[in-house]
Amino acid sequence: MAIYPNYPKFQVAVDCIIFGFNGENLEVLLIKRGFEPERNKWSLMGGFILENEKPENAADRVLKHLTGLDGVYMELCGTFGDPKRDPAGHVISINYFALIDSKKTNTMVSDKYEAKWFPIKDIPELIFDHKEMIIKAKRSLKMKAALYPILFELLPDKFTIPQIITLYEGVYDTEIDRRNFTRKLFSSQLLIKLNDKDKSSSKKGAFYYKLNKLVYKEKIMSFLHFLPNWSIEE
């Protein structure tokens, strides 16, 4: 029995804006679309929500299918619902951004989709409104990262202070007051100093650090105003 017989039917999908960091650049993971319309054009990874499936579970499924990774940091960041956004029909897209150390996916990204990492400043032409989705997702990322240290999700297991600074400067498109930023990092108790150094860029080298996961997991939501009030405008 149709409970709402007089209302139109439409499809609901999820699209995942997957951000990565390769040590130098903030990146986004794109795939070649394998079906019409817009076959073989660059696209975000997405899929339709299945019957009896929550949107967040659909996003987890899509991400796992592409990267093979579990437990990825993911957050709702928007909805696109223009009836004309997809020429095949009225499709509402619920957007999630995900944060991944892009080097972890080098051997995991499915060849089926011809997936490729692109620097955020060098994104190719995309289908439909996917470029607008990335812009909105990056804005959401910047807002959240200014309050909480979620960008550590993009870093490898061990990292240097210069790598952290490069990451934040890439996300915010600005130069950081390095002394003040480093002071705030150390006072957060998020970092554990290691004994080995990265000497790839200088003889003196830079000490490696790792994330204090206990502090991170227990106190992540208490780091209000983790960073200065940088602009979130594009």
Phi and psi angles of residue 193, each rounded to the nearest 5 degrees, phi first: -75, 135
Q: Is residue 234 a part of any domain in this protein?
A: no
Question: Per-residue pLDDT tens for 112-150?
Answer: 778 899 999 999 999 999 999 999 999 999 999 988 899
- Whether 222 has a pLDDT exceeding 80, the answer reads no
75 and 108 part of one domain: yes
Nearest to 17 by CA among 83, 62, 65, 82: 62
**pLDDT at res. 113:** 79
Residue 227: inside a domain: no
pLDDT at 227: 62
| Residue 19 shares a structural domain with residue 135 | yes
Query: Which residue, of 120, 145, 170, is where some domain finishes?
Result: 145
Confidence class for position 205, pLDDT limits 50, 70, 90:
confident
Dihedral angle computed from the Cα positions of residues 49, 51, 53 and 59, in that order, rounded to the nearest 10 degrees? -20
* Whether residue 33 is found in the same domain as residue 95: yes
**Sign of the four-CA dihedral 154, 131, 120, 180:** negative
**Within a domain: residue 119?**
yes
The model's pLDDT over 157-201, given as tens digits with 9 standing for 90+, comes to 999 999 999 999 999 988 888 898 898 889 889 999 999 998 777
Q: Which of 123, 145, 167 is the last residue of a domain?
A: 145
Cα separations in angstroms, 105 against 31, 50, 116, 154, 222: 14, 26, 10, 12, 30
- What tens digit of pLDDT does each residue of 12-69 get? 999 999 999 988 899 999 999 988 999 999 999 999 999 999 999 999 999 988 888 8
Return the pLDDT at 234: 52
Give the model's pLDDT for residue 212.
94
- For residue 119, give the CATH number of its domain: 3.90.79.10
Q: Which domain holds residue 160?
A: 150-222
Contact criterion met (CB below 8 Å) for 137 and 126 = no
Q: pLDDT at position 108, please?
A: 56
We report the CATH number of the domain holding residue 190 as: 1.10.10.10
Number of domains present in the structure of the chain = 2
Beta pairing class for 73-80 and 91-100: antiparallel
Pick from 84, 119, 145: which residue ends a domain?
A: 145
Give per-residue pLDDT as tens, 86-108: 999 999 999 999 999 887 765 55
- pTM, entire model: 0.90
Q: Are residues 112 and 216 in the same domain?
A: no
For the beta carbon of residue 79, count every other beta carbon within 10 angstroms.
Answer: 13
